[in-house]
Structure 1
Amino acid sequence: MEVIHATPVNILGGSLFGILLAALCFGALTIQTSSYYCAFPNDGRPVKLVVGVLWTLQAFQLACSAQSLYWWSVKNYNNPLALKWGTWEFSMHQINIVCSSVTVQTFFAHRVYSLSANLYVGVLVQVLVLLQLGFGTATSVKANMHLELQVIVKESKWLFVSWLAIQAATDIVIAIWMCLLLRRRRTGFQKTDSVINRMVLYTISPGLVTSVLSCIDLVLFAKYGFQFGVIVICMTLGPFYSITMLINLHTRKTLQARLSTPSLFERNSMKKIIRENAEGHGRGGSRLQA
């Protein structure tokens, strides 16, 4: 493995570009969060709490990113040796990704269980999520034990690669299961099936984005270590996971708007599918208007 040198282009450039993208994502997430609380006041408290926690995580992450860049570029100005070392704020990127991805994947695992009504399917998906949590936590602990970037790469390469691989695999498995379960709900009515197709698109697109980013991050880190692209993706992957969940929550309003013209049978069929594809049953789920 060729470990790339801690140059200003890789560390400072990657951090600066990553912060800019993360700030854009945080702005989009803030708008989505505000719109969600206004559009779905009847959603259960657990889901509202999760949305608030995800927003708080990204706000904290953005502050940590700015502090780490300040430490490298201002406090250690004209000190190239400082670029070989990370800070605890810099290590927060990885912890944020773990917290965000596990939260969002658990949310979708519950949806898979709600749609399938099969405990084994839900448990299988959740096991993958917990496996990702385990490797991600171990990676975080190992990285904080050795803040020297090249030491982290050499001693923790297999942990990072395993964690990112499981993370990408979990996203793909969730997307595939959701699509299969939704397509089984086809009714044969053109309008209803059109809405189901749109639900499949909304399900697979966000999962595809996060899994592709994880795979790219995996390949770049395995070959180069803390390279420009690795740092950029690390700073934006957490916000992308949060945006994924908010997009999925907001699609209910769009899908319900498409139910204004179908027949009564189609409307009732689709209301049932959307309800099962929402947060789940019970107090944590959404209450769709009749």
Structure 2
Amino acid sequence: MGAYDMVIGVLLIGLFFNTYLYGLVTYQFIIYHNTKFNDRLWIRSVVGSLFVLDTVHSAVAVYMAWEICVTNYNNPESLAFVSWTIPFTAVATAFAAFITQIFLCHRVMILTKSKPIVWFIGILSFLGFFFGIYAGIYSGIIREVAKFAPLEPFVTCWLTFQTSADLLITFVLSFVLSRSRTGFRRTDTVINRIIRGAIQTGLFASIFALADLFSFLLHRDTYLYAMFAYPLGRIYTNTLLDTLNARTSLKSLAGTEAETDTSFRLQNQTHTMASHQIHSIQVQKEVVTDINDPTSTVDKKYPVEV
């Protein structure tokens, strides 16, 4: 390996992946804007705020690549210090995670009606947000990479609380939705699609957050943690936008399933009626009596001639 593979190399990989995810964010935002959802003002404000934050953060990431690879091309000593872009990344990621988690927490409240669960998720999310802001500002004050040891507890708290909130939201949504299955194919197909989306989005965010944490703790003298830190904010934004835009595909899926079920039932009824034969059954009742028996009883409705 080269001398800068674990410093500049891994950083550039993270920036490339971040740029790709930002393209997905832009695509998702355009779909959301053009679909004209009848969402409340606060939801549209959240979407707009996250998109602006992602745009600024992605521009900062490109600037960092320019600063390291061009401005300081012949100055390897600059790698011993972090510029303002690293603290900004921590703060921007903490904001993106907090906004997304609060939005998903609102959905948990609608589905569960459980205030203790919602409060617990909110506390975890707020603690992750607080320690993320603190760690970002503190790293900007320290600046020297060799002196980042005091950051360990704050970064650990930040990413641990943030990941715990993600996993808890994923578990609660999956559990509640799985119990909502009705046995009807149309409804269960939609519910399974929502559950799969919740698991995928929560899983990706948790993997990158944990990778960021362990990279910082075990390889603090490199920029390996930045490879996971930069795309993390885009993952949260994609999570929120995908959750909102999925309503269109789920509605289309439900309509298709409804037409299929209706067509199947009509065809089944038609074939059943065509093959059904109506039989007319006549039952004749015969009453046999012994007229010689004086104790015999004769039905007055049918008199017997002797």
- Work out which of the residue numbers 5, 8, 16 in structure 1 matches 2:12: 16
Partner of 1:98: 94
Question: If the length of structure 1 is used for normalisation, what is the TM-score?
Answer: 0.84
CA contact (8 A) 1:168 1:215 kept: yes
Tell me by how many angstroms 1:112 deviates.
0.3
Task: Provide, for residues 21-43 of structure 1, a one-character-per-residue CA deviation record: whole Å limited to 9, x for no partner.
Answer: 11111111101101111113321
Match of 2:146 in 1: 150
Question: Are 1:172 and 2:167 an aligned pair?
Answer: yes
Q: Which sections of structure 1, spanning at least 5 residues, go unmatched?
A: 1-6, 268-290
Residue 113 of structure 1: which of 105, 109, 114 is its match? 109
Distance, in Å, in 2 between the alignment partners of 1:94 and 1:167 is 12
Instruction: After TM superposition, give the deviation of residue 261 of structure 1 in Å.
Output: 4.9
Q: Indicate whether 1:69 and 2:65 are aligned.
A: yes
Task: Identify which range, 224-233 or 26-35, moves more after superposition.
Answer: 224-233
Give the partner amino acid of 1:248. Answer: T
Among 119, 125, 130, which residue is 2:121 paired with?
125
Following superposition, the deviation at residue 263 of structure 1 comes to 6.0
Matches within 5 A, 1:167-206: 167-206=162-201
Note if 1:32 corresponds to 2:28: yes
Question: Residues 68 and 89 of structure 1 are in contact (CA less than 8 Å); yes or no, is this contact kept in structure 2?
Answer: yes
Shift of 1:228: 4.2
Q: Does 2:228 match 1:233?
A: yes
SS at match of 1:260: helix
User: Does residue 163 in structure 1 map to residue 154 in structure 2?
Assistant: no
Unpaired stretches in structure 2, ≥5 consecutive residues: 263-306
The amino acid that maps onto 1:28 is L
1:262 is displaced (CA, Å) by 5.5
| Structure 1 residue matching 2:255: 3-state secondary structure | coil
d(CA) in 2 for partners of 1:213 and 1:139? 17
Percent identical across equivalent pairs? 26
> Partner of 2:215 in structure 1?
220
C-alpha separation between the residues in 1 aligned to 2:40 and 2:171? 27
Give the paired residue count.
259
Whether the 8 Å CA contact 1:65–1:89 is kept in 2: the answer is yes
- Displacement of 1:179 in angstroms is 0.7
Q: How many angstroms does 1:77 deviate by?
A: 2.2
Whole-Å Cα distance in 1 between the matches of residues 255 and 207 of structure 2? 36
Aligned to 1:254: 249
Measure, in 2, the Cα distance between the counterparts of 1:23 and 1:158: 30
Distance 2:123 2:189 in 1: 33
Match of 2:134 among 133, 138, 146: 138
Structure 2 counterpart SS, 1:78: coil
Which residue type is aligned with residue 136 of structure 1?
Answer: G
Q: Matches of 2:246 and 2:81 in 1, distance apart? A: 43
Can you list the C-alpha shifts for 1:222-244, whole angstroms capped at 9, x where unaligned? 11115343111111111111011
Q: C-alpha separation between the residues in 1 aligned to 2:226 and 2:102? A: 26
Superposed CA deviations along residues 166-214 of structure 1, whole A, max 9, x for unmatched, are 1111110000000111112121212211211111101111001100111
- Work out whether residues 202 and 251 of structure 1, in 8 Å CA contact, stay in contact via their aligned partners in 2: no
- TM-score, structure 2 as length reference: 0.80
Across the aligned residues of Structure 1 and Structure 2, the Cα RMSD in angstroms comes to 1.9
Hey, what's the Cα distance between the residues in 2 that align with 1:18 and 1:9?
13
TM-fit CA distance, 1:141: 2.0
Runs of 4+ in 1 over 4 A off after TM superposition: 261-264
Structure with more relative contact order (C-alpha pairs < 8 Å, separation 6 or more): 1
